[in-house]
């Protein structure tokens, strides 16, 4: 048994005392799944999907063995995930080549487990090729791009900050992953757009040349120049301008629509009250006019009857 497997098995076995049943193991290709019986069906589905989609954009097929531990409950997930953020649903450990993710007890906010696992496996595949060279914005953006997390763009389409404050720099994006769940979701979406923007520059080869140049030169800047003929400043400007022009106005329009609906929700009762008040006032005016008319008629009749 490898050192990695020993570490993962130790982590799983350390919590067997909390469960009436022992953990199980499933080997498929280069993947080893460790899980408890209630997650057997999930583990089988994940293994089949991981094996069938074991290639990643711009990278050769990964060779390293990977261990995936499926936590049976939230408490065990938090124990195994270590310092992962509270809102995270899975975590990858590139150095030990293992992934920890939630089992079937996960809430709806944990996402599709197939996509979640592919996201984490993309981290490992990128690390296998480039080691620790990628900054976090590229690492997270690449994993989202590899997992085809197109829903990330919906976050940008409703992000009013793009229209009001403008786009962050890549350095600012790097630090925004630690700003809490809301800020992190925006950071993931922007990182996804950055990597997708890179891939779109060369529509024929995507990220292939760029990642190979990065591996051989050890420099993000040199890889950009060789693969795309851009400097990092050129790329950053392109990413910022295109993302803001594409999503900034959408975000503004979306938020103005929301504000308009909120104003309508607040103002509608006031409008109804005003209409009712005006209606009552009009009714009183009509009654007063009718009374005045009757009084005038009576006065005229009295004058007529009281005459010679």
Q: Are 118 and 50 in contact (CB under 8 A)?
A: yes
Domain co-membership, 144 together with 90: no
**Residue 271 has what pLDDT?**
60
Domain co-membership, 154 together with 209: yes
Question: Where among 68, 85, 115 does a domain terminate?
Answer: 115
**Residue 180 has what pLDDT?**
72
Q: Which of 252, 251, 243, 261 is nearest to 158 (CA)?
A: 251
- Say which CATH number the domain at 79 has: 3.40.30
Domain co-membership, 48 together with 155: no
In a domain, 45, yes or no: yes
Q: Are 59 and 30 in contact (CB under 8 A)?
A: no
The sign of the torsion formed by the CA atoms of 272, 273, 276, 277 equals negative
Domain co-membership, 108 together with 166: no
In a domain, 211, yes or no: yes
Domain co-membership, 140 together with 105: no
Domain co-membership, 47 together with 168: no
Domain co-membership, 110 together with 164: no
Q: How many CB atoms lie within 10 A of CB 274?
A: 11
- Domain limits at 203? 133-269
In a domain, 297, yes or no: no
In a domain, 201, yes or no: yes
**Residue 261 has what pLDDT?**
40
Domain count for the chain: 2
In a domain, 293, yes or no: no
Domain co-membership, 70 together with 194: no
Task: Profile the chain (308 residues) by mean pLDDT over runs of 10 residues.
Answer: 48 48 92 96 97 96 97 92 79 95 84 94 98 96 93 62 70 85 84 94 94 97 96 94 72 42 56 70 75 70 61
Domain co-membership, 262 together with 164: yes
Domain co-membership, 137 together with 263: yes
In a domain, 26, yes or no: yes
| HEC secondary structure over the chain | CCHHHHHHHHHHHCCHHHCCCCCEEEEECCEEEEECHHHHHHHHHHHHHHHHCCCCCCCCCCCCCEEEEEECCHHHHHHHHCCCCCCCCEEEECCCCEEEEECCCCCHHHCCHHHHHHHHHHHHHHHHHHCCCCCHHHHHHHHHHHCCCCCHHHHHHCCHHHHHCCCCCHHHHHHHHHCCHHHHHHHHHHHHHHHHHHHHHCCCCCCHHHHHHHHHHCCHHHHHHHHHCCCHHHHHHHHHHHHHHHHHHHHHHHHHHHHHHHHHHHHHHHHHHHHHHHHHHHHHHHHHHHHHHHHHHHHHHHHHHCCC
Domain co-membership, 63 together with 179: no
**Residue 2 has what pLDDT?**
47
Domain co-membership, 86 together with 149: no
CA separation for the pair 76, 53 (Å, rounded) = 28
Question: Where among 86, 115, 144 does a domain terminate?
Answer: 115
The sign of the torsion formed by the CA atoms of 131, 133, 139, 143 equals negative
In a domain, 199, yes or no: yes
In a domain, 208, yes or no: yes
């Amino acid at each position: 048994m490898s050192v990695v497997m020993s570490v993962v098995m130790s982590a799983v076995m350390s919590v067997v005392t909390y469960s009436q049943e022992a953990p199980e193991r499933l080997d498929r290709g280069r993947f080893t799944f460790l899980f408890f019986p209630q997650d057997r069906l999930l583990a089988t589905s994940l293994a089949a999907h991981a094996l069938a989609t074991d290639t990643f954009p711009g990278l050769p097929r990964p060779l390293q063995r990977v261990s995936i531990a499926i936590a049976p409950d939230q408490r065990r997930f938090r124990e195994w995930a270590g310092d992962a953020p509270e809102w995270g649903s899975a975590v990858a450990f590139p150095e030990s080549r293992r992934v920890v993710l939630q089992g079937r007890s996960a809430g709806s906010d944990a996402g599709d487990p197939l996509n979640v696992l592919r996201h984490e496996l993309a981290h490992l595949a990128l690390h296998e090729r480039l080691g620790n060279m990628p900054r976090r914005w590229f690492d997270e953006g690449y994993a989202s791009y590899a997992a085809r997390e197109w829903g990330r763009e919906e976050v940008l389409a409703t992000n009013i900050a793009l229209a009001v404050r403008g786009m962050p720099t890549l350095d600012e994006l790097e630090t925004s992953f630690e700003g809490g769940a809301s800020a992190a979701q925006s950071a993931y979406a922007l990182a996804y757009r950055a990597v997708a923007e890179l891939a779109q520059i060369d529509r024929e080869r995507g990220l292939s040349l760029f990642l190979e140049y990065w591996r051989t030169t050890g420099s993000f800047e040199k890889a950009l120049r060789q693969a795309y003929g851009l400097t990092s400043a050129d790329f950053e400007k392109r990413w910022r301008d295109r993302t803001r022009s594409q999503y900034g106005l959408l975000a503004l329009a979306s938020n103005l629509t929301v504000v308009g609906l909120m104003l309508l929700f607040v103002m509608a009762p006031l409008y109804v009250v005003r209409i009712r008040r005006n209606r009552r006032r009009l009714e009183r005016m009509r009654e007063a006019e009718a009374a005045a008319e009757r009084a005038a008629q009576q006065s005229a009749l009295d004058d007529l009857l009281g005459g010679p």
